């Protein structure tokens, strides 16, 4: 600006017009100088303000509240039973161990922080002087670096720390993880040696000590334990067993994770790193186990100590399904540890596997090649569903917990002559306002004095066949050229009357009833008792009905003659009756195994009064206790 001012003064000796022009230029230069001076002052002010802010001690943080854990529990209790999907999602998030541990840690830290503030009130440590930014930086440098510019004795050598990382990048790939052990609690992780001979974390058990800390992840490489290098699972287990209270792990990422972290991909229109955010597959759902499992007898389980044993009918809380072969689960409603169970896919392959020596379907050719028949496409038919149901492996059934409610149908199944119909009639007679039954439909002509709606609903064969084609019958069959069946509308009519419909149907109908939220059945299997009790039931039935239709032939037809022939026929009748009893016991056990996945209760009918009491008590219990029901009944 000074050269411009000099130029204006020198040129001021010219004419008056020139003087006016130079005066204007001098005014403009003076305005620019004032603007630049103001900008410089503002920058200096901002620099001093930032410097004062840096020198000012931060105000201590004060927690808003320290009782968040009980509040979170109250939210979970209220939202778990809500029908709003967003409320249930919130409850599911609040159940995560990470979130629960975070809230509890916040409350503990908040309590200690409030105690410190009450003992030592905060005082201002702001400096009264305002040194320049350069002088502040030069004064702080020795304390930050641990010495002068050439003093490295107290500094941290990152390269030296990372030398044990087997070629890891300095200063950014190695981390030290400290774990405070509980001698009675396992760490909750499994390890394996990968193809690069690295000891890596295979899985983290949900809810375990490692999972609650959240410092380790599957794929992390374990390099050292308490300063001792480890390369095998046996070495790791030995070093951890030697540690008493604390374990320090030196962790580095695997080669695959190094490549993923360095790769940037486009996903869903947003830039994300190479790690798939959906691979965790952490969830909380409940499954009813439909088979027994003992981890000590499983040769495929990677570690038998973390296997979870269960029995058929147990409710399991599934926590993690990331591994396609092993799910992480625990028993619902218990505080026990989380363990590994076989996944649906693994157990299906295991149960469907046929050893080559037991494979009688495929033949071996002359040259050793396997010869198999050409596969045929078979359409599914409800009437002929037995072959399809044999291949339907139901190993787990997803269920949900519901408040007490009354089931709509009571289904009694079992072999012929075991007492189902007698039990049904006694239940209806004991409380006609609570229980009801259906009348079957038939295509036969009514006999004299028979009316439709008394014992049967009479209809035309053509109409009944059309209803069957439309799947309006629960079950049907043909006897002496006439059709008989149970219509679904008959069941609906009983339910609309506010009664529980009692059905003594065929076991083949259980699948239809079980998968229907409209009927919500409670299925009771009446198992055959021992030979003596079953013979007594048959005898009581013969005396009550005056017939022996359940036997192969009329054993009383020729025994009225008092002769040797009569005695021979009587002994033959007794022999055939014993064979029928044995067949009934065997058939009962077969039906129970085949349809066990649909059964809610099994009663051995050794004493009829006791059987009646057990059924009534079970139905009463349903009205007062929570129930685990299939999710398709609710959603």
Q: Which CATH architecture has domain 282-356?
A: Roll (2.30)
pLDDT tens across 72-128, in order? 888 888 888 888 888 888 988 988 888 888 988 888 888 887 777 766 655 443 333
Domain 441-485 has CATH 3.40.630.30: no
| Superfamily holding 402-434+499-633 | P-loop containing nucleotide triphosphate hydrolases (3.40.50.300)
Pick from 211, 242, 236: which is nearest to 223 by CA? Answer: 236
Q: What is the DSSP string of 69-128?
A: HHHHHHHHHHHHT-S-HHHHHHHHHHTSHHHHHHHHHHHHHHHHHHHHHHHS-------S
- Per the model's pLDDT, the better-predicted residue between 121 and 244 turns out to be 244
Every domain of the chain and the residues it spans: 2-42, 68-117, 172-273, 282-356, 402-434+499-633, 441-485
pLDDT value of residue 554: 43
pLDDT tens across 582-604, in order? 888 888 889 998 999 999 999 99
The per-residue b/e assignment along 481-519, b for 16 or more CB within 10 angstroms, e otherwise, is: eebbbbbbebbeebbeeebbbbbbbebbbbbbbbebeeb
pLDDT value of residue 535: 66
pLDDT value of residue 120: 60
The per-residue b/e assignment along 368-402, b for 16 or more CB within 10 angstroms, e otherwise, is: eeeeeeeeeeeeeeeeeeeeeeeeeeebbbebeee
Pick from 603, 587, 445, 452: which is nearest to 526 by CA? Answer: 603
Across 69-73, 82-86, 130-134, 335-339, least confident range: 130-134
pLDDT value of residue 9: 41
pLDDT at 258 over 80: no
Class of domain 172-273: mainly beta
How many angstroms separate the CA atoms of 143 and 35, rounded? 40
Reported as half-sphere exposure (CB side, CA atoms, 13 A), residue 567 has a value of 3
Distance from chain centroid for Cα 504: 35
The per-residue b/e assignment along 418-427, b for 16 or more CB within 10 angstroms, e otherwise, is: bbbebbbebb
Q: Per this entry, what is the length of the chain?
A: 635
pLDDT value of residue 489: 93
pLDDT at 617 over 90: yes
Structural tokens at position 571? 């002994």
């Amino acid at each position: 600006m000074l050269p411009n001012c000099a130029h204006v003064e020198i040129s001021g000796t010219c004419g008056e017009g020139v003087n006016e022009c130079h005066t204007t230029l001098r005014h403009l230069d003076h305005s620019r100088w004032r603007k630049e001076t103001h900008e410089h002052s503002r920058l200096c002010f901002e620099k001093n303000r930032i410097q004062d802010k840096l020198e000012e001690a931060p105000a201590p943080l004060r927690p808003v509240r320290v009782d968040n854990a009980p509040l979170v529990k109250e939210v979970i209790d209220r939202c778990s039973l809500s029908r709003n999907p967003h409320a249930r999602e919130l409850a599911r998030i609040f159940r995560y161990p990470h979130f629960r541990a975070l809230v509890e840690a916040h409350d503990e830290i908040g309590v200690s922080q409030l105690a410190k503030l009450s003992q030592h009130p905060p005082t201002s440590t702001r400096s009264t002087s305002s040194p320049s930014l350069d002088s502040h930086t030069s004064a702080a440098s020795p304390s930050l670096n641990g010495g002068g510019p050439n003093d490295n004795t107290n500094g941290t050598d990152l390269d030296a720390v990372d030398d044990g990382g087997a070629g890891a990048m300095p200063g950014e790939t190695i981390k030290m993880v400290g774990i405070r052990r509980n001698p009675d609690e396992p760490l909750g992780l499994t390890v394996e040696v990968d193809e690069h001979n690295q000891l890596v974390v295979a899985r983290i058990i949900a809810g375990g000590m490692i999972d609650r800390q959240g410092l380790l992840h599957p794929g992390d490489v374990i390099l050292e334990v308490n300063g001792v290098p480890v390369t095998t699972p046996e070495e790791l287990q030995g070093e951890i067993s030697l540690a008493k209270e604390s374990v320090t792990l030196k962790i580095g990422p695997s080669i695959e994770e190094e490549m993923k972290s360095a790769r940037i991909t486009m996903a869903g229109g947003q830039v994300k790193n190479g790690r798939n955010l959906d691979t965790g597959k952490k969830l909380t759902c409940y499954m009813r186990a439909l088979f027994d499992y003992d981890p000590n007898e499983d040769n495929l389980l990677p570690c038998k100590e973390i296997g979870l044993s269960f029995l058929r009918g147990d409710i399991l809380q599934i926590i993690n399904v990331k591994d396609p072969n092993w799910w992480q689960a625990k028993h619902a409603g218990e505080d026990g540890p989380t363990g590994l169970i076989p996944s649906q896919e693994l157990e299906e392959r295991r149960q469907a596997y046929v050893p080559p020596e037991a494979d009688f379907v495929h033949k071996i050719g002359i040259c050793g090649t396997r010869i198999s028949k050409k596969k045929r496409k078979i359409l599914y038919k409800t009437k002929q569903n037995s072959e399809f149901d044999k291949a339907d492996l139901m190993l787990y059934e997803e269920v949900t917990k519901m408040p007490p409610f009354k089931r709509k149908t009571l289904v009694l199944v079992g072999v012929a002559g075991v007492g189902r119909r007698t039990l049904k009639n006694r239940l209806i007679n004991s409380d006609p306002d609570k229980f009801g039954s259906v009348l079957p439909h038939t295509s036969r002509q009514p006999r004299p004095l028979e009316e439709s709606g008394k014992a049967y609903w009479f209809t035309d064969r053509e109409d009944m066949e059309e209803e069957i084609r439309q799947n309006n019958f629960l079950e049907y069959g043909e006897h002496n050229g006439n059709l008989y069946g149970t219509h679904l509308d008959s069941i609906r009519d009983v339910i609309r009357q506010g009664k529980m419909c009692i059905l003594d149907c065929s076991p083949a109908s259980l699948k239809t009833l079980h998968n229907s939220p409209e009927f919500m059945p409670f299925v009771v299997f009446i198992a055959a008792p021992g030979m003596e009790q079953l013979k007594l039931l048959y005898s009581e039935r013969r005396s009550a009905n005056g017939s022996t239709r359940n036997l192969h032939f009329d054993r009383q037809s020729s025994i009225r003659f008092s002769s040797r022939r009569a005695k021979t026929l009587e002994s033959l009748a007794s022999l055939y009756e014993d064979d029928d009893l044995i067949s009934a016991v065997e058939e009962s056990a077969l039906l129970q195994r085949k349809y066990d996945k649909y059964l809610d209760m099994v009663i051995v009918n050794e004493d009829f009064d006791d059987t009646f009491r057990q059924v009534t008590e079970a139905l009463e219990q349903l009205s007062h206790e929570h129930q685990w029901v299939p999710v398709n009944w609710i959603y």
